[in-house]
Amino acid sequence: MPLVPLRPVLESAAKNGFAQGAFNVNAVAQAKAVIEIHETFRSAAILQGADLANGFMGGRVDFMNASLEDKIAGAKNIANAVRKYGETSDIPVVLHLDHGRDLDSCKAAIQGGYTSVMIDGSALPFEENMELTREVVKYAHERGVSVEGELGVLAGVEDHVFSSASTYTNPLSAVEFIRKTGVDALAISYGTMHGASKGKNVKLRKEIPTAISECLAYEGIFCALVSHGSSTVPRYIVDEINALGGQLSDTAGISADELRAAIPCGIRKINVDTDIRLAVTRNMKEFFNKYPEKRTSGTIGEIYELLETKKEQFDPRAFLTPIMPAVMYGETDDEDTKAILQCVEKGVKEAVGTLIVQFGSYGKAPLGEPVSLDEMAQRYREMER
């Protein structure tokens, strides 16, 4: 089926009492794997391309300095990959922009084929955040594209998103923000944190989503609450990376028990990136450990060198640059490159499959209503009347 907007998928999650994982992808192989594992578990799929992921997929190795043109090219590459595997799928598939920085970034993603966008104005004063979000909502809804906003600040680092401290979301401000902007989803700050070092034994402030959800229900407003910075950072994968020569320290995630307990409080979308990065990096290290002769391969030998040089890193984008054409377009005739891409796919499926079960979306794909962008645009017009 064609790619679908985010809102109907989250409406189904709310109606049936579960959460959808939302998984970041930075390569065609990752997109393929995310869709395939969701098909296996009969779950709708939300694939996310972060603003800088678009730059990377546009061929910008130094993606922190990606231009708007790089992001436009990368958005098309990610969308082409998701369409390739998603449009032949029997499950609903959403392509969502994660942490869009401004209206131009959101427009670039929509023009590239994204069916949902996040505009992150959380660092702005409340009124400015609201105005920027309202502007994105107007542009996106006219095209049937769903919008996620953010209110409150998460600590930690994710691409260009950084804060040294958290600012919890005020429930009353959240309801006002939702009412005045018309967002379909809202990312809140309630104790999660970006990155691989979230602190041990984190206890989420579940009273925050509970209060927001109860106020929204009283006013008859739909808006799905989103949990960013929610990777579980599996201890066993970190240990395996370090046993293979990695140097990861001070790593800790949000426990699956805490995340599951937040779902009845109104959390309907749970963002995960770090778990995938860890599993993919572990798999590549294992590959070169098992096949030492591949360390001098003409096509993937440099990946091994990068793994050995950057022992404290776990983002696959730091290691996959020698095979950028395969990363960006997913096609290669080289057997060594194919082997590395298989490592990528297996790592994605391990991390994502576990969380589909934890979040309760398995078997729920048939419960959702397939809605095209044109149909969603008409629904948005009707909502405004």
Give the residue numbers annotated as catalytic, written as ranges.
Answer: 98
Instruction: Give CA–CA dist 69/168, Å, rounded.
Output: 35
H or E segment to which residue 59 belongs: none
Q: How far apart are CA 228 and CA 142, in angstroms?
A: 26
- Strand pairing partners for 162? 157
Q: Tell me which residue of 126, 85, 119 sits closest to 99, measured CA to CA.
A: 119
**How many CA atoms lie within 13 Å of 117's alpha carbon, on the beta-carbon side?**
33
Residue 76 CB-half CA count within 13 A: 8
Q: Which amino acid is at 218?
A: Y
Q: 171-181 and 126-141 are packed helices; what angle lies between their axes, rounded to 10 degrees?
A: 40
205 Cβ neighbours under 8 A, 6+ residues apart: 168, 190, 191
Give the whole-angstrom CA distance, residue 346 versus residue 348. Answer: 5
CB 253 within 8 A of CB 233: yes
The answer to whether residues 4 and 371 touch, using CB atoms and an 8 Å cutoff, is yes
257 CB contacts (<8 Å, ≥6 apart)?
none
Cα dihedral 269, 271, 272, 273 sign = positive
Nearest to 84 by CA among 372, 352, 349, 331: 331
**Cβ contact 116:147 at 8 Å:** yes
In whole angstroms, what is the distance from residue 74 CA to residue 59 CA? 7
